[in-house]
């Protein structure tokens, strides 16, 4: 407790670096929820001892049999694979006659600080489903040869009234986040009696290159995300900066944990949900009955009598870690943390008995008996960990999928690495906190 993870794991430096490298490859690729599922399905292609329940390619349950029967309960590690981003609107492409620019209308997803997303290179990644049902995978902006897109910001010289006088939240209104996608035009086209042509020209390019028509944007999930790969941060290279650590870092650590766990005693499941960043609603979110459905499919797979009562009993006896990130102490903004209970970068996985806001509203609040069991497992296995809360009591707060697991009777606790700059386009994590999280989930799967 409250010791550096680097000290506790001083014999594991190579393992930490190898794990960090694998993670950086993953997080540089997995910039959408669908890509996380694709990555996992690909890794499990030749593995026989895993049973998968795939929810529309956007949420997934990965099951591994244990020595104990299902009726004794399952060990779940649950995380979410969606991340804050900016989506394209259904009717998106337009041009502006005065500026002669072509743009795309967008609608942000999840809690973003909009000012962080302007004036930086952005990629478009996602899926377009044509009317005939065929889907087209789109990725533009990730290859060095690709063009990128951007939200252009206003120059400081002219921002005095329309930006500087406003609050931070109001300075970039959502409807001004229109993605810059083109400018090419010829004078003769302008004079054409059909009028200004940049939009048609851009739509022709999109049609020729991707086979996508304007109406196809209606049945598309195209996500505007920060362009480029994960990077090591600091002279000491002790940290990783990337888009989407929240919560793909826990998804990756949990997945590797179940892959590497030795001689499973308990039946084990990694649950990866979509839609956490917008409240866990929708049929791929944790508030849906996907947990119940996946558990029933697992019971059926094991030839157990899967009915309403046996399902309830399995879940009631189960235990879970809700694997999600928390907020590391930021040296510039100490006033929002209560430092005795705030996670420190590099001190290992942060264990949160409860999340929520104010008087623990919206919190799962794990039972003392269950917290005791978890710290015992981690101490026994030399896992760097630290107790934590999310900021000062009345400062703000946040929730996780924990409450959606515990309502089925599952003992649940929150634990994950602490980040700097959570929800920003470049979130920072310590390599040793990443590795500690992997160890924490792995030994949870291994221990009695």
- Nearer to Mn ion by Cβ, of 178 and 427: the residue is 427
Neighbours of 134 (CB within 10 A): 9
Alpha-carbon radius of gyration of the chain: 23
- Nearer to Mn ion by Cβ, of 33 and 247: the residue is 247
- Of 87, 247, 365, 433, which one interacts with Mn ion (CB under 5 A)? 247
- Site stretch for Mn ion (CB under 5 A), options 64-72, 208-216, 319-327, 348-356: 319-327
Q: CA torsion, points 277, 279, 283, 288, in degrees to nearest 10? A: 130
Q: Residue 141 region, left (φ>0) first, then alpha (ψ -120 to 50), else beta?
A: left
Q: Is 95 in the site for Mn ion (CB under 5 A)?
A: no
- Nearer to Mn ion by Cβ, of 103 and 249: the residue is 249
Residue listed under structure tokens 């690909």 = 42
CB of 418 to Mn ion, least distance (A): 12
- Site stretch for Mn ion (CB under 5 A), options 101-109, 159-167, 246-254, 401-409: 246-254
- Site stretch for Mn ion (CB under 5 A), options 136-144, 234-242, 244-252, 374-382: 244-252
Site string for Mn ion, 345-384 (x = CB under 5 A): ----------------------------------------
Neighbours of 309 (CB within 10 A): 8
- Nearer to Mn ion by Cβ, of 246 and 365: the residue is 246
Site string for Mn ion, 380-419 (x = CB under 5 A): ----------------------------------------
- Nearer to Mn ion by Cβ, of 87 and 324: the residue is 324
Query: Distance of CA 305 to CAs 77, 291, 297, 298, Å?
Result: 24, 17, 11, 11
**H helices of 362-424, where?**
368-380, 402-406
Q: Is 246 in the site for Mn ion (CB under 5 A)?
A: yes
CB 421 within 8 A of CB 428: yes
CB of 245 to Mn ion, least distance (A): 9
- Nearer to Mn ion by Cβ, of 95 and 414: the residue is 414
- Nearer to Mn ion by Cβ, of 87 and 247: the residue is 247
- Site stretch for Mn ion (CB under 5 A), options 97-105, 154-162, 176-184, 317-325: 317-325
- Supply 104's token pair: 């795309």
Q: Is 82 in the site for Mn ion (CB under 5 A)?
A: no
CB of 250 to Mn ion, least distance (A): 8
CB 248 within 8 A of CB 31: no
- Nearer to Mn ion by Cβ, of 110 and 264: the residue is 110
- Site stretch for Mn ion (CB under 5 A), options 39-47, 159-167, 242-250, 326-334: 242-250
Q: What residues contact 415, with CB distance under 8 A and at least 6 apart?
A: 321, 322, 323, 349, 350, 351, 352, 374, 385, 437, 440
Enclosing H/E stretch for 415: strand 411-416
Q: What residues contact 275, with CB distance under 8 A and at least 6 apart?
A: 80, 82, 281, 282, 284, 285, 286
CB 419 within 8 A of CB 325: yes
Q: CA 433: distance to chain centroid?
A: 17
- Nearer to Mn ion by Cβ, of 324 and 433: the residue is 324
CB of 269 to Mn ion, least distance (A): 19
CB 128 within 8 A of CB 212: yes
- Site stretch for Mn ion (CB under 5 A), options 137-145, 152-160, 238-246, 299-307: 238-246
Residues 173-232 that bind Mn ion (CB under 5 A): none
HEC assignment per residue over 31-50: CCHHHHHHHHHHHCCCCCCC
- Nearer to Mn ion by Cβ, of 250 and 299: the residue is 250
- Nearer to Mn ion by Cβ, of 197 and 275: the residue is 275
Q: What is the distance between the alpha carbons of residues 112 and 249, in angstroms, rounded to a whole number? A: 18
CB of 367 to Mn ion, least distance (A): 23
- Supply 23's token pair: 């993670």
CB of 415 to Mn ion, least distance (A): 12
- Of 87, 223, 324, 446, which one interacts with Mn ion (CB under 5 A)? 324
- Site stretch for Mn ion (CB under 5 A), options 34-42, 324-332, 375-383, 432-440: 324-332
How big is the site for Mn ion, counted in residues (CB under 5 A)? 3
Question: Comparing C-alpha atoms, which of 94, 152, 13, 76 is closest to residue 402?
Answer: 76
Q: What is the distance between the alpha carbons of residues 88 and 106, in angstroms, rounded to a whole number? A: 4
CB of 246 to Mn ion, least distance (A): 4
User: Which residues contact Mn ion by CB under 5 A?
Assistant: 246-247, 324
């Amino acid at each position: 407790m409250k010791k550096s993870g680097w000290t506790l794991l001083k014999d594991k430096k190579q393992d930490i670096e190898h794990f960090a490298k694998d993670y950086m490859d993953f997080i540089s690729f997995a910039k959408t929820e669908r890509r996380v599922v694709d990555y996992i399905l690909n890794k499990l292609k030749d593995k026989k001892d895993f049973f998968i329940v795939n929810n529309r390619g956007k949420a997934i349950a990965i099951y591994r049999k244990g020595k104990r029967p299902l009726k004794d309960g399952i060990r779940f590690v649950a995380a979410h694979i969606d991340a804050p981003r900016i989506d394209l609107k259904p009717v998106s492409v337009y041009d502006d006659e005065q500026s002669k620019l072509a743009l795309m209308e967008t609608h942000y997803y999840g809690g973003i600080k909009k000012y962080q997303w302007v004036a930086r290179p952005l990629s478009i990644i996602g899926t377009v489903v044509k009317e005939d049902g065929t889907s087209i995978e789109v990725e533009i902006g990730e290859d060095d040869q690709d063009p990128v897109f951007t939200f252009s910001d206003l120059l400081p010289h002219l921002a005095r009234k329309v930006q500087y006088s406003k609050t931070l939240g109001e300075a970039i209104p959502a409807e001004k986040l229109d993605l810059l996608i083109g400018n090419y035009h010829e004078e003769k086209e302008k004079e054409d009696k059909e009028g200004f042509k940049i939009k048609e020209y851009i739509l022709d390019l999109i049609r020729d290159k991707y086979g996508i028509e304007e109406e196809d944007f209606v049945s598309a999930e195209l996500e505007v995300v920060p362009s480029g790969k994960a990077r090591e941060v600091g002279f000491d290279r002790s940290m990783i900066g990337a888009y989407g650590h929240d919560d793909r870092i826990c998804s990756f650590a949990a997945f590797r944990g179940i892959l590497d766990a030795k001689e499973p005693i308990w039946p084990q499941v990694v649950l990866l949900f979509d839609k956490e960043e917008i409240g866990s609603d929708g049929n791929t979110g944790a508030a849906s009955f996907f947990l119940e459905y996946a558990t029933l499919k697992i019971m059926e797979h094991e030839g157990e009598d899967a009915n309403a009562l046996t399902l309830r009993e399995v879940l009631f006896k189960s235990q879970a870690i809700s694997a999600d990130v928390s907020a590391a102490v930021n040296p510039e903004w100490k006033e929002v943390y209560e430092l005795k209970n705030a996670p420190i970068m590099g001190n290992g996985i942060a264990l949160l008995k409860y999340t929520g806001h104010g008087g623990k509203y919206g919190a799962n609040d794990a039972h003392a008996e269950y917290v005791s069991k978890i710290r015992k497992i981690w101490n026994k296995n030399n896992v760097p960990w630290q107790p934590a809360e999310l900021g000062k009591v009345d400062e703000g707060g946040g929730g996780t999928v924990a409450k959606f697991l515990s309502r089925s009777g599952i003992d649940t606790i929150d634990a994950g690495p602490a980040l700097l700059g959570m929800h920003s386009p470049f979130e920072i994590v310590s390599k040793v906190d990443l590795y500690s999280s992997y160890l924490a989930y792995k030994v949870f799967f291994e221990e009695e």
